Amino acid sequence: MTPSFGSRLRSAMDERGPLCVGIDPHAALLDSWGLTDDIAGLERFTFTVVEALAGTVAVFKPQAAFFERFGSRGVAVLERAVSDLRAAGGLVVMDAKRGDIGSTMAAYAEAFLRKESPLFSDALTVSPYLGYGSSSRPSTWPARPAPASSSSR
């Protein structure tokens, strides 16, 4: 059985300290680093942070929207960052603040909390804006089976 997020967090903090690093590559931050607000700037910023801190910080919290704003290429950068961070032993809390009806929340869970997903994260920020039902069952999300793959692609 996989240890709970809480126990993995405790272990990571005991080993690496209590720091959580946000990875929020918004336009002003990229500019302040002397980077362009495009996919090249996003990649340089992201992987500079990953390479500098992945082996020493307990938790990373990438803000999904700052990657999604670049479309599939930005999501690909996020996927690689998540993979690299987890491979280095860091925990990833995906800062996506998702909140919607049950079926949509289940899809978000598959995207961010299913082990086979390229965006698999240790935890996900959610927003209960649509009411209790939009975040009432997050503890059951990782247990959902992977969707059937389509052979018609």
Listed in sequence order, the residues at least 6 apart from 9 whose beta carbon sits closer than 8 Å to its beta carbon are 58, 59, 91, 122
Task: Show which residues are catalytic.
Answer: 97
- For residue 141, how far is the Cα from the chain centroid? 15
| Continuous segment of H or E residues that includes residue 60 | strand 59-62
Which has the closest alpha carbon to 82: 35, 114, 41, 105?
114
For the record, the structure tokens of 22 come out as 């946000």
